[in-house]
């Protein structure tokens, strides 16, 4: 697709070589107005951005998954009351107030979508990627989950049941992926290093360290 | 409302295109758009349901064209004017009206961490007794509300089974419109893929949808 087709979607490799986009100017003007009126505190804006750039992201979810893999009692608590079990690791709050964890098994594969907007478990996965919020994923995840998974390079055996979780309420879903073979000796930190964001949305499989 | 935002089951919207090297924000303005939306929301002049509905009100062709955070900014501008925090003239000029009093923002930098950590739980104590039990067969009602709703079109008229009960939660259809929280039972309902999609369902599967009691009838 030619770059010129999307004047409002400047890509980051172009940053600094072109004038500010319409959106950049529009948001800057809005921020100035709200700051001048005393409606928002610019330091609070910085603190929000800092939180999602450096503190809250998919590493949190990976630690939850690794602990569940390594600690059967924790896994039982996680599947019974995910909000409380996730809070044990210090994660919770906005867009993760009510958590449910769904477990992948040899017979069941789970994947999460929000067909109506972009609901996503922020405290454990951070902010959602563009594809998760995009029309193609939101429209097709429910009607053609296997086709969507194929675009992520995931092919499931035909007899596996695919469960799609549409986040229509304030319940947020996290997928507990299957622990890969050959990871028996790994500690939780090493295990967490194997867990990708997409595996916790359900659009990837976790592979072992040698894969 | 039957808007384009309710896109579950649609065809023709293109391939999913994951970018393995996607940055958290593609441009700095996206980060500011996120932060402005959260910080302005701290005034409590609108609800999360109301802000979702405001984005749904973006005309369909624009909704499909706009980037994610462009939708957020478009929604935020409308909410600011509707709530009276900003006048339409101020939004156009980019300057406070002459003589406008300067206020103190409710969300300070120190309040950001506790505010995000607390979030906004939507479970409520309610004396409304749940009408359905685990395992009950239910049908999503064939309703087409013109306002905000979280009952996706693709589920309407279809039969499912109650697979979990979440307790009473704030009802978005009322809360989005300033009609109060009106908490009511919220269920997780399992719909077999073949029930939703007929012979098009590709392999064994199910879609689980969280649905409020008013969306459901016995089946």
CA nearest to B195 within chain A: A143
B59-78 pLDDT tens trace: 999 999 999 999 999 999 99
Q: What is the pLDDT of residue B51?
A: 98
The DSSP output letter for B181 is -
Q: For this complex, say whether ipTM is above 0.90.
A: yes
For residues A31 and B94, give the distance between their C-alpha atoms in angstroms, rounded to a whole number. 9
DSSP-assigned letters across all residues of B120-143: ---B----PPPS--TT-EEEE---
**A13 to chain B, minimum CA–CA distance in Å?**
10
**Which residues of A are identified as catalytic?**
114, 117-119
Give the model's confidence band at A7: pLDDT under 50 very low, under 70 low, under 90 confident, else very high.
very low
Q: Which residues of A touch B193 (CB under 8 A)?
A: 162
DSSP-assigned letters across all residues of B77-102: HHHHHHHTSS-HHHHHHSSPPTTPPP
pLDDT at residue A6 tops 90 = no
Give the model's confidence band at A17: pLDDT under 50 very low, under 70 low, under 90 confident, else very high.
low
A104-155 pLDDT tens trace: 999 999 999 999 999 999 999 999 999 999 999 999 999 999 999 999 999 9
Q: With the C-alpha atoms ordered A132, A135, A137, A138, is the resulting torsion angle positive or negative?
A: positive
Which residue in the set A12, A24, A48 is minimally distant from B35, CB to CB? A48
Give the model's confidence band at B202: pLDDT under 50 very low, under 70 low, under 90 confident, else very high.
confident
**Which CATH entry fits the domain spanning B137-218: 2.30.30.50, 1.10.10.60, 1.10.540.10, 2.102.10.10?**
2.30.30.50
Q: What is the pLDDT of residue A9?
A: 46
Which residue in the set B40, B119, B164 is minimally distant from A39, CB to CB? B40
For residues B66 and A118, give the distance between their C-alpha atoms in angstroms, rounded to a whole number. 14
For residues B215 and B19, give the distance between their C-alpha atoms in angstroms, rounded to a whole number. 37
CA nearest to B55 within chain A: A117
**Which CATH entry fits the domain spanning B28-118: 2.60.40.60, 1.10.472.20, 1.10.1060.10, 1.10.1660.10?**
1.10.472.20
Which residue in the set B6, B22, B123 is minimally distant from A116, CB to CB? B6
The DSSP output letter for A170 is S
Bridge partner residues of B189 (DSSP) = B162, B209
Indicate the helix (H) or strand (E) that contains B112: helix B109-118
HSE, side-chain direction, 13 A CA sphere, residue B67: 22
Structural domains of chain A sorted by starting position, each given as residue range(s) with its CATH number in brackets: 21-55 (no CATH), 57-201 (3.90.330.10)
Q: Do A118 and B68 touch (CB under 8 A)?
A: yes
Bridge partner residues of B140 (DSSP) = B216
pLDDT at residue B14 tops 70 = yes
Q: What is the pLDDT of residue B203?
A: 82
Q: Give residue limits of the domains in chain B.
A: 28-118, 137-218
For residues A13 and A15, give the distance between their C-alpha atoms in angstroms, rounded to a whole number. 6
Give the model's confidence band at A211: pLDDT under 50 very low, under 70 low, under 90 confident, else very high.
low
Q: Which residues contact A29 (CB under 8 A, 6 or more apart)?
A: B94
């Amino acid at each position: 697709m030619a770059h010129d087709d999307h004047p409002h979607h400047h890509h980051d490799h172009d940053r600094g070589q072109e004038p500010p986009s319409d959106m950049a100017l529009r948001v800057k003007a809005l921020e100035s107005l709200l700051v001048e009126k005393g409606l928002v505190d610019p330091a609070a804006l910085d603190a929000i951005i800092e939180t999602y750039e450096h503190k809250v992201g998919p590493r949190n979810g990976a630690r939850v998954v690794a602990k569940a893999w390594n600690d059967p009692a924790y896994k039982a608590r996680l599947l019974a009351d995910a909000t409380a079990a996730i809070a044990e690791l210090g994660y919770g709050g906005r867009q993760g107030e009510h958590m449910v964890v769904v477990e992948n098994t040899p017979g069941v594969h789970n994947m999460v979508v929000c067909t109506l907007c972009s609901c996503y478990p922020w405290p454990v996965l951070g902010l959602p990627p563009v594809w998760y919020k995009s029309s193609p994923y939101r429209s097709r995840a429910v009607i053609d989950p296997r086709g969507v998974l194929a675009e992520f390079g995931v092919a499931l055996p035909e007899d596996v049941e695919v469960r799609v979780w549409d986040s229509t309420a304030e319940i947020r879903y996290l997928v507990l992926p299957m622990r890969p073979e050959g990871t028996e000796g790994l500690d939780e930190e090493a295990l967490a290093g194997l867990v990708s964001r997409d595996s916790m949305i359900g659009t990837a499989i976790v592979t072992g360290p040698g894969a | 409302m039957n808007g384009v935002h309710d896109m579950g089951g649609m065809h023709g919207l293109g391939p999913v295109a994951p970018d393995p090297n996607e940055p958290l924000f593609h441009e700095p303005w996206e980060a500011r758009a996120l932060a402005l939306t959260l910080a302005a929301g701290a005034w409590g002049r609108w609800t999360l349901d109301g802000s979702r509905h405001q984005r749904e009100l973006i005309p369909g062709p624009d909704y499909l064209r706009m980037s994610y955070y462009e939708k957020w900014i478009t929604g935020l501008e409308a909410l600011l004017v509707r709530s009276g925090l900003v006048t339409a003239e101020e939004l156009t000029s980019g300057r406070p009206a002459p003589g406008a009093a300067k206020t103190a923002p409710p969300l300070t930098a120190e309040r950001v961490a506790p505010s995000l950590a607390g979030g906004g739980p939507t479970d409520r104590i309610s004396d409304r007794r749940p009408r359905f039990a685990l395992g009950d067969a239910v049908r999503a009602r064939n309703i087409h509300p013109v306002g905000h709703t979280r009952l996706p079109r693709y589920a309407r008229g279809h039969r499912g089974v109650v697979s979990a009960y979440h307790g009473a939660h704030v009802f978005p259809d009322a809360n989005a419109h300033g009609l109060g929280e009106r908490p009511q039972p919220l269920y997780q309902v399992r719909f077999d893929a073949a029930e939703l999609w007929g012979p098009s369902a590709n392999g064994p599967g199910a879609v689980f949808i969280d649905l409020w009691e008013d969306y459901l009838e016995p089946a």
